[in-house]
Structure 1
Amino acid sequence: MSKDATVYLLDVSRHMYAHPRAPGETSHLEKALFCIREQVQAKLIQGRKTDVICVILMGTQETHNYLALGDSEQYQHVSILFPDQFNLLAVPSLSLLEAIQKPESLEGQDECDVVDGLIIGLMTIDMFCRNLKYTKQIFLYTCAESAFVVDGSDEVIDRAKEMNVAVNVIGFNFGKPESSEIKRSTEQYLGQCMETTDGELWDGDEALALLQSLHTKNVRPATLFRGPLVLGDPQRYPTETLAIPIFMYNRTVEAKLPTAKKWSKVAPNQETVCMVRASQAYYSVHSDGLDGNLQPGDDRLERHEVIKGYKYGKTIVPFNTVDEEAFKLKTEKSFNIIGFISLDKVHRWMFMGSVASVMAEPGNLSASRSFYAFCRSLYQTQACALVRYVSRDSLAPKIGALIPRIDTGETYCLFVQLPFAEDCRDYSFISLRPLTEPTLGLPESNRVASVLNSSTSFDAHSVGSGVSKGTSVAGPPAKRMKFDARRCSDEEVRHRMDDFVDSMDLMNPPPSGSDGEAFKSQDVFNPVYQRLWQCIIARALNGPASEIPPVDARFMAGIKPLPELEERAKDASLKLSEAFNVKKVESKKSNTTKDVWMARARNANLPLLDGREGSVAPSESSVSSEKRRLAELTVAKVEKIGSITPAADFRAMCARRDKDCIPAAMEQMPQVILQLITNSADGEYYDKALEAIHEFRRGCIIESESDCFNAFLERLQTETLVKTRLHHRFWSGHVVPGGIGAITSDECPDCGAH
C-alpha cells in the first residue's frame, strides 16, 4: 500500500448553498461537506501516518494561501483550511474534522475560480511530495456555476499530468440541458482535466450514496513468508531437490477491534486527562493469602526471583529461563512439502486460523513458470500438498495444506493450517438417520409425537425391516424417535423442505431476481466494529459528556435476512411448520437445594426453620450424628500430598474416615517437604516448607507418630547442614528461629524422647 497525498478542493460560493431546491432538501455545500467528512473519517480510522490531506476552500470572503501573500492581486478568495499547517499537507486530525462540521460557517461570496484552486492544490502537493513516491489525488467538489480565467488554464492540466496527479471531479447538476453557457464551459474544462489526468467524474448524489455505505479499513499487505518452497531433501539429495521462491500473504484474517489506552480521569492540572502506565509486582503468598489479598507475611519479589512452574497433578514442576531454552524445539525457517493428498481428504472442519495466499516471487520469471506448473499439476489431479511451515527460526512448526487456485489471469495456492492430534476435539453425535426413514403406517394419534412427554431415546427407535410405507403393522405399534414429529409422509416432508430452501436461495435475491449473490463476505460488515467507530467519532466530535448515538440500522442489516427474502419464503415456511407437530415447551422450574432439604424435613416430620410442619424436635444424638455425616461429606478425598498446598493435603488425608490414609501421609510428607526445599532456587518455597513442617509435627502428635517426625527432623538437619550446604539458610533462618524441635514425651506419652 503506497503513501497517499490528497487535496480536497471545495467550492463554497453562493451557487453551492443558495441554489433553488425543494423544502427540506440539503444544499450542494452540505452534500459536499458530508462527502469530505466521510473521507476524512475513513482516513482517521485507518490511522496511517503516510496518509496526508489538505482542504482548500474556493470562493471564501477572505484570502488565506501562500501564493497571495504581499500585494499580489492573484489567487484571491482561496483559503487553505488547516489549523496545524499553513502551506503543507498533514495527517488528518480531529481539528480539521471539526472545522468542516458546520456549513454556515464556510459560506463564501458570489463567485469562485476553480483554476486558482487547482493551481494552489497542485503547488501544495508539489511542495510537500517533491520527488517522493506518493499516490497524488485531487477531489474537486463544485457546481461549475462560476466563470474562470481561461488564460493559462491548459498549462494547469499539463502540469497536473506531468506531476501524475489524478483530478477527480464531483459535480452537482452536471449535464443539464438548461445549464448556462458559463456552466457548460466550466463543465467542459473540468471534464478535459479529468480525462487527461486519468481521474474520474462523479455525480454529487451518486458520490453521496457511495460514501454513505459502510467501508472497511484498508490494511497494507505484508508478507508472512519469503523463501523457497522445497520439494525434496536438500541435505541428502541436493541435486534432485526442487526449490521455488515464493511469497505468502494473508488472504483472510480476523479484524481486531482497536485497543483502548488507559487514561486517568483527571490529570494533575485538573483540566485534562493524562496517560497512565501499569506496573506488575510479585509477592510470595502464604496459605492464608490464597484468596489474593496480601497478608502481613507476604514478601515482595523481584522479577529475576520468579520462575515458571508447570502443574503435574498437584505438583509444581519448576523451570527457569535456561531450562525453557533447552526444551524448546530447534527449528529453522522453512516451507517444505511433506507429501500430497487428495483434496477430498481435507475436510472443512480441519481448517484452522487464517487463510493465506501463496504465489511465486514477483519479478522472478523462472519461479513463476515452476510455480505455475506446480499449481497446474495439483489442479488437474485434484490434489493438495501437505507442507511443514516455520515462519521464523526457533518458532513452533505448523502443518498445513496448499490448495491450488486457478482464476482468470491468476494462479496461486491457498495455505490453510491443519490441526495436530492435540488440536482435534471429537464428539460423537447420535445418528439422525431414523428421522429420514419412511413413516410407518400408524394411526394419526400414534404418528403425532409429543416432544414433552416422550421418553424414548434416539437408540430406542426401530423400524421393522421389510415393511413398506402405507402398510399396516401387526402387533404393538413401533416405537418412534423422540423428536420424530412428522405429520405427513416422508416424501411430502422432503418436498416442503426443498421448497423452503429454494425460497431462501441467496443466489437470486428479490426483488429483481437478477443474477447475483446476496450476503457476500466482502459486503457483510462486522456490526461490532462499525458500532465502535460510530461511537468513537460521535464522542470525539461532540465532547466527552455527549450521549452515545443510537445503533445505525445498516450495522444490523448485514446479519439479518433480507425483508424481501422473508416475504418470499413466508408460504414455504408456513407449509414446513405444518408438516411437524412441534410445540413450545415451557421449561420447568428446577428444585433448589433449599427445596430439597425442606422436602426431606417434611418426610422426616422435623420442624422447619420457620416453624412450619412437624412436631417432633431432633434429639441431640441425631443432630451430632448428622454433623458427623456432614463433616465426612465435606472432607476432600485426598490420596496424595502435592507441592501446591502440602499442609492442607496432609490435614485432609489424616481427617479421612472412609479409608486409613495416615501411613501414606506420614510417608509422603517428608518427601514433599524436602522436595520444596531442594527446588527453591533462592528460597522462594521456604515459607511453604516451614508451614508444612508445623502441620506435620502437629499431626504426628495427634496420631502418636512422634518417631516418624523425629526421624524426619534428624534427616532434615543432615540434608541441609552436612550433605549439602546449599540450603543451610533454611535450617538456620527458619527451623531454629521457629522453635521447631523433636517431639518429647510431655507432648506425646508414647514418645521415647525427653
Structure 2
Amino acid sequence: MASKEATVYIVDCGATMGGKSHDRSRTNLDWALEYIWDRITATVATGRKTAMAGIVALRTNTTKNPLDTEDDYSNITVLREIGQVLMPHVRLLREQLLVSSTEAGDAVSAIVVAMQMIEQTCKKLKYERKIVLVTDARGSIQTDGLEEIVRKLDEDGIELVVLGVDFDDAEYGFKEEGKDGLKAENEAVLKQLCGDCGGTFGTLGQAVEELGIPRVKKTKAVPSYKGVLTLGSPEMFETALSVDVERYPKTMLQAAPSASKFIVRGDSQAVVGESEAGADGEAGDGGWGGLTAVKNAMTYQIVDKEAAGGKRDVDRDELSKGYEYGRTAVHISESDRNVTLFETTPGFDIIGFVDRTLYERYLDTHRGSLMIAQRSNDKASMALSSFIHALYELDSYAVARLVAKENKDPRIVLLAPNIEPDFECLYDIELPFAEDMRSYRFPPLDRVVTVSGKELKVHRNLPSDELKDAMSDYVDSMDLSTFGKDDEGQSAEYMPMEETYAPMLHRLHQVIKHRAVFPSGDPPPPYEILTRYSHPPSELIEQSQPALDRLMEAANVKKVPPKARGKRYGRKEAPKPLSDLDVGALLAHDPKHKRARLDPRNAIPEFKQRVNDASDMDTVKDACKQMKGIIFDMIRHSTGSAKYDAVVEALRVMREEVVDLSAAEDYEIWNEVLRELKTELFAGKLGEGREELWYRVRVNRLGLLQARNEKGKPLEGAVGDEEARKFLLAR
C-alpha cells in the first residue's frame, strides 16, 4: 500500500523575486517555479488521493492564513489547502503565483503556517510530512522562537527543505559575489534552522539542474511465489530437500504512459458536471476540464441474407468461442473446455543441475527474479544458505520447474547463486521450451567451403591478418569502459548502468508535465542526460580517427557514388552497363521489337525494362496501366491470400520505378493506381474479403507519393503529409 504524503510548498513572491540575476533570461520567480511545477505535476501524475500538497505564497500583497490575526503573519497567503492536487488547481495556481509589489513578509512565520496546516490535516496519523521553502532571502526574518520551531518540527516528524535563489553552496561550487548584508544574514539563519532540525539546505541552481535527472520509481516488492523449494519428494522420502522460500521480481519493465481518448462534453453532460462540482468549483469529473471519456460499445453480427444489409446483430451470449486452426474456426463448447485446461498445483521443484560454463546466456527469455528464505524462519535461512553455497562452490546452476499458482502453466527456470557480505539469494531466469527454440544453419565465417567440400582459409571474402589487426585496434580505440572520469579524476566507465535511462519514457514524462502547466507552450528540449549517450563523445571519435583510417585502408573501402535519379525517358543514350553486355538483347529475342503487351508470367522484369527504355510519357503511362491490370487480375484470381505476396512485390516495384522518374506528374500515375486499388478492394469489386491486402499495403508503406520542392515542402496541389497518412489509415 502506498504511503500517505503531505507536502506544503512555500513560494516567495516578493517584489525582489521579479529581478533577473546573473544574466538569466527569466525572473527569479519563474526560475523558482520551474522546480515547483516539476514537483507538483509529479504528484498530480500519480493520481493518488493520499499524495496531498498545499501551496503557501510568501510576501504577497494580501494576507490569508489561519494565523492572520497576528501581525507577524501578515503578507502570507494560503493559496491551496492540503489535499489532492488536480489539473484545474495547477492552472489556477499559475494565475496566482505572480510577483507582488511588497517586500514585507517573514519566511519563518510562513514555515509556522505550513506546520499548522500539516497538523490540522495529518493530526496524529502516519504521514510523510514535508515543508519546501523557496526564497531569495531578501525579506525580513524574525529569529525569535526558533528553538520552539525546531522542537515542533522534530516532534511532528516534519522534513524541512530550504532552496534559495543564488544561495552559497560550497559542495555545488557556487558563491555569489557582492551579496548584500541582509541576504547573507538571512541565509545564515535559514541554514542554521535546517541544521538544527536535520533538514536540507541548498541552492536553487542545483535543484533546477537536477530536474533533468529522471527519478526512478521505487515500488514495494510483491512476492510472486510463496511456498516450498523442493529437491526430491518430501512426502515420500525423509532425505528430500524442502525449504520454505519467497520469490520476488528483481527487474520489471516500466511501460510508458498511455494516451486516453476524450471528447468535448455535451450540454447534458455539462449540466451533470456542474451539479457534481464542489463548493470550491472543483469538477466532479476528476478535473478533466470540459472533457469526457470516450466509451466503446461492441456489437456482434452474423451473416443473414434476410436481414437488412445482409447482416444481423446478435447478443454475445448467443456466440460460442472458436479457435483458429489455419483459416478454419474450430468450435469448442464451454462444457468441453476443461479438456484444454492443464491442471497443475503450486510448487517449485528442482529437476536438475548444469555446469555454469555450459550455460548460454542467449537462453534467457524473461525478466529476472530473486528467491530468499521465508522471513523469520531461521531453519529455512540456514537450509537455503547451504544450498546457495553448494551451488557456488561447485560452479553450477540449478534447473527448476515453477508453478506459481494453481492451474498456472509450468515454467522452467534457471537458479543462480548470489553471495554478498550481508545478503544471499538465488536469482532465477525463465528458460525456453524446445518449441520456443529455432535453429538455423549459417556458413562459417572463418573459412569458405567450396561445392566439392574443399575448405579455403584464404579467400577474397575472408578477412586478412592485416584487416583483423586493424579492426582490433579500432575497437580498442573506441573503448568506453575507461573513457569516463570519477570524482577523483581517475579513469572510469563512461556510461555506467545507473546513469542510463530510457529516453522515450522520461522524455514523454517531461513533455506531459510541461504541457500540463503550459497548455499552449512549445515542448522544452530534452534533458541532456537523455541524449548524452545517443552518440559517441567527440573526443573519442577524434582520438580513434587514425585507427579508423588504417582500418579503411586495410579493408579497401571505397565510396559508392550516389544513385542517379531523374527522368529516364527523353534521353539520347541509355546508360552503358559496366559489363558492356547488351541487357536488352539478353532479355528479348529481338531488341528492336517492342512488345505491345506485358506478359503476366514475367510482368515485373518486362515492366522495369519498358519504363527504363521509355522515350516519352505515354509509354510510361501505358506500362503502368498494363501493370495495374495484371495486379488486379492476380487479386481476383487469388485463392485466399496465396498471391498477396506477389501483388505486394509488384506494387513495390511499380512504386520504386515511378519514384526514380522523380517528377510530380509521374508521381500522380502511382497515386491514381493506388486510389483505384483501395476503392475497388473495399467495394468488393476484386472479390469478397480482400481487405486484408490493404493491411499488407500499409505494413509495407506503399502509400501515396508526395512531390516536394528543394526545401522538402509539398508542392502546391500535391499530396500533403496529413493526406497521405489518412489515406493509408482510413478505410
TM-score range, shorter chain: 0.5 to 0.7
1:588-644 per-position Cα deviation (integer Å, ceiling 9, x unaligned): 99xxxxx99x9679789675159x99xxxxxxxxxxxxx9xx99x958599xxxxxx
Query: Which range moved further: 162-171 or 260-269?
Result: 260-269
Q: 1:530 aligns with which of 506, 509, 513?
A: 506
Q: Which residue of 2 aligns with 1:571?
A: 546
**Alpha-carbon distance in structure 1 between the residues aligned to 2:12 and 2:440:** 65
Distance apart, 1:351 and its partner CA? 0.8
What SS does structure 1 have at the residue aligned with 2:353?
A: strand
**Alpha-carbon distance in structure 1 between the residues aligned to 2:471 and 2:162:** 52
Decide whether the 8 Å contact of 1:434 with 1:461 is kept in 2.
Answer: no
Distance apart, 1:233 and its partner CA? 2.0
Instruction: Please tell me the residue identity of whatever aligns with 2:384.
Output: F
**Alpha-carbon distance in structure 1 between the residues aligned to 2:360 and 2:199:** 46
Instruction: Please tell me the residue identity of whatever aligns with 1:2.
Output: S
**Alpha-carbon distance in structure 1 between the residues aligned to 2:556 and 2:301:** 63
Instruction: Please tell me the residue identity of whatever aligns with 1:275.
Output: A
Q: Which residue of 2 aligns with 1:509?
A: 483
**Alpha-carbon distance in structure 1 between the residues aligned to 2:562 and 2:178:** 71
Flag the 1:370–1:178 CA change in 2: closer, same or farther, 3 A: farther
| Identity within the alignment, % | 26
Unmatched 5+ residue regions in structure 2?
Answer: 169-174, 271-289, 565-582, 599-609, 614-629, 642-731
**Alpha-carbon distance in structure 1 between the residues aligned to 2:299 and 2:589:** 52
Q: 1:281 aligns with which of 270, 274, 299?
A: 299
**Alpha-carbon distance in structure 2 between the residues aligned to 1:281 and 1:527:** 40
Instruction: Please tell me the residue identity of whatever aligns with 2:215.
Output: H
Q: Which residue of 2 aligns with 1:5?
A: 6
Alignment of 1:12-161 (within 5 A): 12-18=13-19, 21-24=21-24, 26-68=26-68, 71-82=69-80, 86=81, 89-99=82-92, 101=94, 105-107=98-100, 109-161=102-154
**Alpha-carbon distance in structure 2 between the residues aligned to 1:408 and 1:588:** 62
Q: 2:159 aligns with which of 166, 169, 175?
A: 166
Flag the 1:581–1:297 CA change in 2: closer, same or farther, 3 A: same
Distance apart, 1:392 and its partner CA? 1.9
Instruction: Please tell me the residue identity of whatever aligns with 2:60.
Output: T
What SS does structure 2 have at the residue aligned with 1:561?
A: coil
Distance apart, 1:363 and its partner CA? 4.3
Alignment of 1:694-713 (within 5 A): none
Distance apart, 1:255 and its partner CA? 1.7
Instruction: Please tell me the residue identity of whatever aligns with 1:515.
Output: S
Instruction: Please tell me the residue identity of whatever aligns with 1:608.
Output: A
What SS does structure 2 have at the residue aligned with 1:256?
A: coil
Mapped pair 1:521 → 2:484? no
Decide whether the 8 Å contact of 2:129 with 2:157 is kept in 1.
Answer: yes
**Alpha-carbon distance in structure 2 between the residues aligned to 1:524 and 1:137:** 29
**Alpha-carbon distance in structure 2 between the residues aligned to 1:554 and 1:73:** 47
Q: Which residue of 2 aligns with 1:264?
A: 263
Mapped pair 1:368 → 2:368? no
1:241-283 per-position Cα deviation (integer Å, ceiling 9, x unaligned): 4443333332222221222222235635698432121122222
Q: Which residue of 1 aligns with 2:691?
A: none
Flag the 1:281–1:371 CA change in 2: closer, same or farther, 3 A: same
**Alpha-carbon distance in structure 2 between the residues aligned to 1:72 and 1:180:** 29
Q: Which residue of 1 aligns with 2:221?
A: 221
Query: Which range moved further: 390-399 or 269-278?
Result: 269-278
1:320-359 per-position Cα deviation (integer Å, ceiling 9, x unaligned): 2232233211122322322322222332111112112322
Mapped pair 1:296 → 2:314? no
Q: Which residue of 2 aligns with 1:210?
A: 210
Instruction: Please tell me the residue identity of whatever aligns with 2:411.
Output: K
Decide whether the 8 Å contact of 1:524 with 1:559 is kept in 2.
Answer: no
Flag the 1:368–1:310 CA change in 2: closer, same or farther, 3 A: same
Flag the 1:539–1:187 CA change in 2: closer, same or farther, 3 A: closer
Q: Which residue of 2 aligns with 1:339?
A: 352
**Alpha-carbon distance in structure 2 between the residues aligned to 1:635 and 1:30:** 66
Decide whether the 8 Å contact of 1:161 with 1:196 is kept in 2.
Answer: no
What SS does structure 2 have at the residue aligned with 1:353?
A: coil
Alignment of 1:589-604 (within 5 A): none
1:4-39 per-position Cα deviation (integer Å, ceiling 9, x unaligned): 3222222333444447x3444544433321111222
Decide whether the 8 Å contact of 2:13 with 2:98 is kept in 1.
Answer: no
**Alpha-carbon distance in structure 2 between the residues aligned to 1:324 and 1:399:** 25
Q: 2:472 aligns with which of 498, 503, 519?
A: 498
Instruction: Please tell me the residue identity of whatever aligns with 2:53.
Output: I
Instruction: Please tell me the residue identity of whatever aligns with 2:381.
Output: S
Instruction: Please tell me the residue identity of whatever aligns with 2:333.
Output: N
Distance apart, 1:415 and its partner CA? 1.7
Flag the 1:561–1:189 CA change in 2: closer, same or farther, 3 A: same
**Alpha-carbon distance in structure 2 between the residues aligned to 1:2 and 1:363:** 24
Instruction: Please tell me the residue identity of whatever aligns with 2:13.
Output: V
Mapped pair 1:194 → 2:170? no
**Alpha-carbon distance in structure 1 between the residues aligned to 2:153 and 2:164:** 19
1:399-454 per-position Cα deviation (integer Å, ceiling 9, x unaligned): 1112222235332222211111111122222211139xxxxxxxxxxxxxxxxxxx
Q: Which has the larger radius of gyration?
A: 1
Decide whether the 8 Å contact of 1:164 with 1:197 is kept in 2.
Answer: no
Decide whether the 8 Å contact of 2:38 with 2:513 is kept in 1.
Answer: no
**Alpha-carbon distance in structure 2 between the residues aligned to 1:178 and 1:264:** 56
1:67-116 per-position Cα deviation (integer Å, ceiling 9, x unaligned): 32xx443422212222xxx3xx2233223433555797243621332221
Flag the 1:266–1:94 CA change in 2: closer, same or farther, 3 A: closer
Flag the 1:299–1:339 CA change in 2: closer, same or farther, 3 A: same
What SS does structure 1 have at the residue aligned with 2:83?
A: coil
**Alpha-carbon distance in structure 2 between the residues aligned to 1:458 and 1:542:** 69
Q: Which residue of 2 aligns with 1:431?
A: 444
**Alpha-carbon distance in structure 1 between the residues aligned to 2:226 and 2:587:** 71
Distance apart, 1:551 and its partner CA? 5.8
Decide whether the 8 Å contact of 1:510 with 1:564 is kept in 2.
Answer: no
What SS does structure 2 have at the residue aligned with 1:371?
A: helix
Mapped pair 1:560 → 2:549? no
Q: Which residue of 1 aligns with 2:243?
A: 244
Q: Which residue of 2 aligns with 1:397?
A: 410
Flag the 1:425–1:112 CA change in 2: closer, same or farther, 3 A: farther
What SS does structure 2 have at the residue aligned with 1:146?
A: coil
Decide whether the 8 Å contact of 1:336 with 1:388 is kept in 2.
Answer: yes
What SS does structure 2 have at the residue aligned with 1:195?
A: helix
Distance apart, 1:200 and its partner CA? 2.3
Instruction: Please tell me the residue identity of whatever aligns with 2:258.
Output: T
**Alpha-carbon distance in structure 2 between the residues aligned to 1:212 and 1:458:** 60
Alignment of 1:315-714 (within 5 A): 315-434=328-447, 462-463=455-456, 480-481=459-460, 483-484=461-462, 486=463, 490=465, 492-510=466-484, 514-543=490-519, 555-583=530-558, 607-609=595-597
Distance apart, 1:364 and its partner CA? 4.0
**Alpha-carbon distance in structure 2 between the residues aligned to 1:459 and 1:122:** 89
Instruction: Please tell me the residue identity of whatever aligns with 2:300.
Output: Y
Decide whether the 8 Å contact of 1:9 with 1:58 is kept in 2.
Answer: yes
**Alpha-carbon distance in structure 1 between the residues aligned to 2:249 and 2:333:** 36
What SS does structure 1 have at the residue aligned with 2:116?
A: helix
Decide whether the 8 Å contact of 2:344 with 2:408 is kept in 1.
Answer: yes
What SS does structure 2 have at the residue aligned with 1:90?
A: strand
TM, length-normalised to structure 1: 0.66
Flag the 1:522–1:3 CA change in 2: closer, same or farther, 3 A: farther
Instruction: Please tell me the residue identity of whatever aligns with 1:528.
Output: M
Decide whether the 8 Å contact of 2:72 with 2:106 is kept in 1.
Answer: no
Decide whether the 8 Å contact of 1:33 with 1:101 is kept in 2.
Answer: no
- Tell me the C-alpha RMSD between the 2 structures: 4.0
